[in-house]
Amino acid sequence: MSVATKPAPPAGSSSLARNQLPRRTTQLVLVLSFAAGAGLSALFGGFSVVSFAVLSVLVFLVVNTALSAVVEGRRKATDKLVTALVYTAFGIALVPLISVIWSVLDNGLPRFSVDFLTTSMRNVTGLNDQQALEGAAPFIGGAYHAILGTFLITGLATIISVPIGLLTSVYLVEYGRGRLARSITFFVDVMTGIPSIVAGLFAAALFAVLFGVGTRNGFAGAVALSVLMIPVVVRSSEEMLRIVPNELREAAYALGVPKWRTIVRVVIPTAISGIASGVTLAIARVVGETAPLIVTAGFTSSINSNPFSDWMMSLPAYVYSQAMRPLSGSSPQPSFDRAWAAALTLILIVMLLNLVARLIARLFAPKTGR
Amino acid sequence: MTTTAKPPPAERPATTPRAKARPGDRIFSRSAQVAGILILVILAGVAAFLVREALPTFTADSSEIDGGEGFFSYVWPLVFGTLAAAVIALIVATPLALGIALFISHYAPRRLAQGLGYIVDLLAAIPSVVFGLWGIQWLAPQVQPAWSWLADNLGFIPIFTGPASATGRTMMTAGLVLAVMILPIITAIAREVFLQTPTLHEEAALALGATRWEMIRMAVIPFGRPGIISGIMLGLGRALGETMAVAMVLSTGGFTWSMVTAGNNTIAAEIALDFPESSGLKTNTLIAAGLVLFAITLAVNMFARWIVSRRSEFSGAN
């Protein structure tokens, strides 16, 4: 009886579908918001991309939430608001990424050439830049000395860091027990947090004590970079060694293989792809370090292929000096162009290293049984 | 009791003969150990050389220090600048990073999520000097109007006191660049912990009729809170120690409350700008300032690790 007296839901909509906006509402509001944003932006002092984006997002947030609050209730409205905010956050994060990459490509490509990569800054003066701007002389000056320096310094840092880092991770995973291992783990963590400039100061202070105040050379830069690189190598290799299955070690021991041969022939080869890609990523991280190099390796405009004596230019330091101290104060543009071209070179190197790391991880991954 | 307890020790040598110590084993384990100890030595060396080179600052007459009033009055504006830039960066980066992490872990279509994660990680791969170049040549002119507006309309707040810098090379801009640089760090850590939320908790919340946001607020955020905090602290550590973005973007100067005019400086940027040309006591002073920076970042990082380790004790991961 009582069932019959209950008011029937209005025809065409079940009780579940009540208080719900039609399916395409959000998309519709979004499109309308863009239109409104464009209109408002044009209304307030001329159309610009920034005001268009900001206004559209604001309109969308307000309209979408209000609509949902009226029809669907407060909880759904909050949910929609947060969803929109989360999407907006991701959109905002893309702005710097795209703009960095765009401005590096846009400003760097014009001066990025074989010439740029194969010549140094020796005997390039502000006068050249001025004449080049006036069209009286060609643009000259490149980053060969900086690229060479970056490769030498980073290479040396790798040679120092990888054995220490790899052996330490082997110690932590295979041997380390007790207080020593715990303190190493702890201090590797501490080392990860050393600001890069402090690492540079350390190398500068070390070389000042050993070889006299004001000693600057590529090797000091490599030492500074090693301080930053070692903890990264330890962390990544440790992680890789730890996921080597214990069964492999036990099988080797069961065959009577000594522990050190087990590690060298079984454990490390199994983890080698991860270790190699971790090392590559560590190189990619330190190759762009600027601060430690400008206090240890210094600046120069000439090619120096001996990292153990004299100042040595590196790509980041080159970018820094060209951007902050243009050769010609009155016509800085050629120097800025060189800075951007060098930044492009640097990013290409870093991206290449990242790509290589990924390839290594994929190509040399251990073959699993199945 | 005593009779049953006795046999094992007697039996043990027979069943498991002690392995012969092989020279290869000894050499290898010893060299691994030495490498580990070397790390401790390096770190001790970092501390020792910095302290050694910094000492003359503290023994020197206070009038000889840059500024003429002793080390403390030299370093505190720098400490203020360092903290101010880092705080601005955190205020901007934290909500964004959490939003991005949630987007990748819970909102983006599954198929896209990993690729989007890579895109954010790309930001971490860009060298800091490139961010500096971008900040000074692209970002500073773009945001300058915003700082002018702040100075004109909210100038009564001390941090927005005008007149705003005409170049846009201000603390706020430097903070923004720092925010972009620490964004991937906070995002990566927050994303990891969000993805680790037990699926059962999430499904239980949804089954009770929670909306997606309510599910996140009730299941994901409480679970991930220690991870979020440690991610923020690690981002803070990075922002405190970051050099190039500030050294290039900020038009440095003396202490000022205003964040929209030229002025202020951070420890790291001061070192980068002055160290190459410094000599004598100035070098020692800069190294002492570096020591202060080291101490600050160390404290922040330790706090972050402590939070992580406190959590790992009762997490299901181990």
Q: What is the pLDDT of residue B19?
A: 60
B47 in a domain, yes or no?
no
Query: pLDDT-derived band of residue B9, with 50, 70 and 90 as boundaries?
Result: very low
Provide the residue type at B200 as one letter: L
For residue B46, is it within any domain? no
Residue type, B236: L
Closest CA to A307 of A210, A216, A200: A216
Which of B33, B96, B294 comes nearest A194 by C-beta? B294
Q: Does A69 touch chain B (CB under 8 A)?
A: no
Mean pLDDT on A63-80: 88
Give the Cα separation of A9 and A19 in Å (integer). 13
For residue B122 the two structure tokens come to 């790309």
Q: A298-302 — which CB contacts under 8 Å span 24+ positions?
A: A298/A216, A298/B276, A299/B276, A300/A145, A301/A120, A301/A121, A301/A122, A301/A123, A301/A124, A301/A145, A302/A120, A302/A121, A302/A122, A302/A145
User: At the top level of CATH, which class does the domain A144-363 belong to?
Assistant: mainly alpha
pLDDT of residue A368: 56
Q: In this model, does residue A8 exceed pLDDT 60?
A: no
Query: Which band of pLDDT confidence, cut at 50, 70 and 90, is reported for residue A93?
Result: confident
Give me the number of domains chain B comprises.
1
Helix axes A333-363, B110-125, angle to 10 degrees: 130
The band of B81, judged by pLDDT with boundaries at 50, 70 and 90, is very high
| More confidently predicted of A238 and A21 | A238
Q: What is the mean predicted confidence (pLDDT) over B175-201?
A: 91
Whether A230 and chain B come into contact, CB under 8 Å, resolves to yes
Q: Residues B24-61: pLDDT tens digits?
A: 888 898 999 999 999 999 999 888 988 988 888 888 87
B150 pLDDT band, cuts 50/70/90, is confident
Whether a cis peptide bond, with omega within 30° of 0, leads into B95 is: no
Rg of chain A's alpha carbons, rounded to an integer?
30
Query: Cα distance from B175 to chain A (closest Cα, Å)?
Result: 14
Measured distance CA(B170)–CA(B173) in Å, rounded: 5
| Percent share of chain A, pLDDT over 90 | 41
> How close does chain B come to A1, measured CA to CA in Å?
31
Integer Cα distance of A108 and A100 in angstroms: 11
Q: What one-character-per-residue DSSP string does B115-129 give?
A: HHHHHHHHHHHS-HH
A82/B42 Cβ within 8 A = no
Interface contact A202-B33, CB threshold 8 A = no
B37 found inside a domain: no
Q: CATH code at B105?
A: 1.10.3720.10
Backbone φ and ψ of A368, nearest 5°:
-85, 160
Of A83, A107, A174, the CB nearest to B212: A83
- For an interface test with A, the pick among B40, B51, B105, B133 (most A C-beta atoms closer than 10 Å) comes out as B133
As to burial, measured by CB atoms within 10 angstroms (0-12 exposed, 13-18 middle, 19+ buried), residue A310 is middle
Strand spans (E) along chain A: none
Given CB atoms, is B22 within the 8 Å cutoff of chain A? yes
Q: Which residues contact B204 (CB under 8 A, 6 or more apart)?
A: B219
The span from the CA of A167 to the CA of B157, in Å, is 55
| Residue in B105, B93, B92, B87 with CA at minimum distance from that of residue B224 | B105
- Residue spans in chain A of domains classed CATH 1.10.3720.10: 144-363
- Residue B52 belongs to a domain: no
A369/A172: higher pLDDT: A172
| B246, pLDDT greater than 70 | yes
- The minimal CB distance from A260 to the residues B28, B136, B187 is found for B28
Is the pLDDT at B91 greater than 90, yes or no? yes
- What pLDDT was estimated at residue B318? 33
By three-state DSSP, how is residue A22 classified?
Answer: coil
Are residues A343 and B302, on separate chains, in Cβ contact within 8 Å? no
Between chains, do B301 and A195 touch, taking CB under 8 Å as contact? no
Does residue A106 have a pLDDT over 80? yes
Q: Which residues from chain A sit within 8 angstroms of residue B248, using beta carbons?
A: 320, 323-324
- Look at B267 and A40; give whichever has higher pLDDT: B267
Residues of B in contact with A205 (CB under 8 A): 49-50, 52-53, 287
What is the residue-wise DSSP string for A280-338? HHHHHHHHT--HHHHHHT---SS----TTSS----HHHHHHHHHHS-S-SS--HHHHHH
Q: Which residue of A has its CA nearest to B138?
A: A103
pLDDT over threshold 90, residue A224? yes
Query: How far is A133 from B269, CA to CA, in rounded Å?
Result: 32
As a 3-state breakdown, chain A gives helix, strand, coil percent values, each rounded to 5, of: 75, 0, 25
Helix segments in chain B, DSSP class H:
2-5, 7-15, 23-59, 70-102, 110-125, 128-134, 140-153, 171-196, 199-207, 212-215, 221-241, 244-249, 267-274, 281-312
Q: What is the ipTM of this complex?
A: 0.85
pLDDT of residue A133: 82
| Least confident piece of the model among A55-69, A228-242, A342-356 | A55-69
Put simply, whether B50 touches A (Cβ < 8 Å) is yes
* Residue B49 contacts A where some CB pair is shorter than 8 Å: yes
pLDDT confidence of residue A301: 87
Average pLDDT for B114-118: 82
Any A CB within 8 A of B126 CB: yes
- Average pLDDT of A11-32? 72
By the 10 Å C-beta count (0-12 exposed, 13-18 middle, 19+ buried), A254 is classed as exposed
Chain B contact probe: residue of A92, A101, A198 with most B CBs at under 10 A: A198
Is position B132 within any domain? yes
pLDDT at A370: 43
Q: Which of A197, A210, A345 to mutate to probe the B interface, most B CBs <10 Å?
A: A197
Kindly state whether residue B21 falls inside one of the protein's structural domains.
Answer: no
- The pLDDT-based confidence of A316 (bands split at 50, 70, 90) is very high
pLDDT given at position B122: 81
**Cα-Cα end-to-end distance for chain B:** 37
CB–CB of A364/A273 below 8 Å?
Answer: yes
pLDDT band at A203 (very low <50, low <70, confident <90, very high): very high
pLDDT in tens, B283-307: 889 999 999 999 999 888 888 778 7
Inter-residue long-range contacts of B12-21, CB under 8 Å, 24+ positions, other chains counted: none
Stretch B134-147: mean pLDDT: 90
Size of interface A-B (CB pairs under 8 A): 268
Nearest-Cα distance to chain B for A53, in Å, is 15
User: According to the per-residue pLDDT averaged within each range, which of A22-31, B1-10, B186-195 is highest?
Assistant: B186-195
Percent of chain B residues past pLDDT 70, beyond the cut? 91
| Contacting residues of B for A288, CB less than 8 Å apart | 126-130
Comparing CB atoms, the residue among B142, B248, B298 nearest residue A323 is B248
The overall average pLDDT reported for chain B is: 84
Q: Residue B103 belongs to what domain range?
A: 60-312
Q: Is residue A366 predicted with pLDDT exceeding 80?
A: no
pLDDT of B309 above 80: no
What confidence score (pLDDT) does residue A18 get?
63
Q: Which of A168, A195, A350 sits opposite B127 (nearest CB)?
A: A350
- Name which of B138, B211, B268 is nearest A79 (Cβ-Cβ): B211
In a domain, B317, yes or no: no
Element (H, E) at B211: none
The confidence score (pLDDT) of residue A192 equals 86
Across all residues in chain A, what is the average pLDDT?
86
- Whether residues B271 and A201 touch (CB distance < 8 A) is answered with yes
- Inter-chain touch A340–B37, beta carbons under 8 Å: no
Domain annotation covers residue B6? no
